[in-house]
Amino acid sequence: MKIVGLIFLDLICNVIKALTKGEYDLFINMKKENIIIGLVSVFLITLCSCTNENIDQVPVQLLKKVVEVSVDGTSNTTLLTYDGNKIVNIDKFDKYFEFYYTGDLITKIVELDKTNQHLNTSQYLYSDGQLSKITSSDNYVLNYIHNSDGSVSYEKITKDSNNIDVRINHGTLYFQSGNLVKDDKFLDDAEKGILAENSISFEYDYKNNALSNILGYNKLLDYSITISSNNVISSSEISSVKHIDDDQVISSIKINKSKHQYDSNNYPIEIVSESLIFGGNDSRHLKSLLSYN
């Protein structure tokens, strides 16, 4: 901006000098085109400089630490490490996750225990930039089909002792405004004569998800609500079991609400809920404290 100011000042000074020295003919004969071009150039440079300054001021926040606090006062800490905006690892109190990229997409996640023993490796396959398949070393495969209405159908398959494919469950994920709003799941591995299903719906705020700036993270459909753009403020889970022989249906519902506090950039810094940041519920869980770069 200082350079732009100097250029504009120099242009004005030259005009003033021409007038004060009585060089009217020189001033009048100056090509109007040059004057216009000079002024327009200064205006455009000033505009671009202001735009760049505004862009530089927009903070890109990356979640660095989560402290999960229990009602008895005990706590567990999770640390996240990055290379730019690419996630490198997530170090939880009981597990360690390593992330590997191909270009801008996360294509492998390795799970280790705290003694560095291998627990699981998940390979992520994409088609046209959308997740299509997850292959786990824990003997299962997740297949995804992206539907024209924006929903995503999925099925989880394993192999039995005879190396034959057996479907564990299947269902549909529903999205709205970048948020997972519903997951309808049917359990195919239920006992014979039983139909079991589970449906969970989510409501969101309009603030920034703590993980939303991680490159490629929102493609990981198996990471549920953590890939959403905003933060869950309420969830409703309905489970039902139907006995085919007598049409008896047993249902249950569980509702969980969350209360958030945000920083000046609308990212959550405290979440009071039974839900943990990286999935799972615990009635002893009190709140999550989040820290950024």
Q: 2-20 and 32-57 helices cross at what angle (nearest 10)? A: 160
Q: Assign residue 284 a region (left: φ > 0; alpha: ψ between -120 and 50; beta: otherwise).
A: alpha
Cβ atoms 290, 269 nearer than 8 A:
yes
Bridge-partner residues for 194, per DSSP?
A: 243
Q: What is the pLDDT of residues 15-71, one digit of tens each?
A: 445 444 444 454 445 444 554 445 445 444 454 454 444 444 556 899 999 999 999
- Say if residue 246's pLDDT is above 60: yes
Q: What is the pLDDT of residues 116-138, one digit of tens each?
A: 999 999 999 999 999 999 999 99
Model pLDDT, residue 28: 46
Q: What is the pLDDT of residues 185-234, one digit of tens each?
A: 999 988 888 999 999 999 999 999 999 999 999 999 999 999 999 999 99
190 Cα distance to chain centroid = 33
Q: What are phi and psi of 164, to 5 degrees?
A: -100, 140
Bridge-partner residues for 196, per DSSP?
A: 187, 241
Taking residues 163-168, what's their average pLDDT? 96
Separation of alpha carbons 77 and 16, rounded Å: 67
Q: What is the pLDDT of residues 67-91, one digit of tens each?
A: 999 999 999 999 999 999 999 999 9
68 Cα distance to chain centroid = 20
Model pLDDT, residue 55: 44
- Say if residue 244's pLDDT is above 50: yes
pTM summary value: 0.79
Model pLDDT, residue 11: 47
Separation of alpha carbons 265 and 59, rounded Å: 8
Cβ atoms 71, 286 nearer than 8 A:
yes
Bridge-partner residues for 268, per DSSP?
A: 262
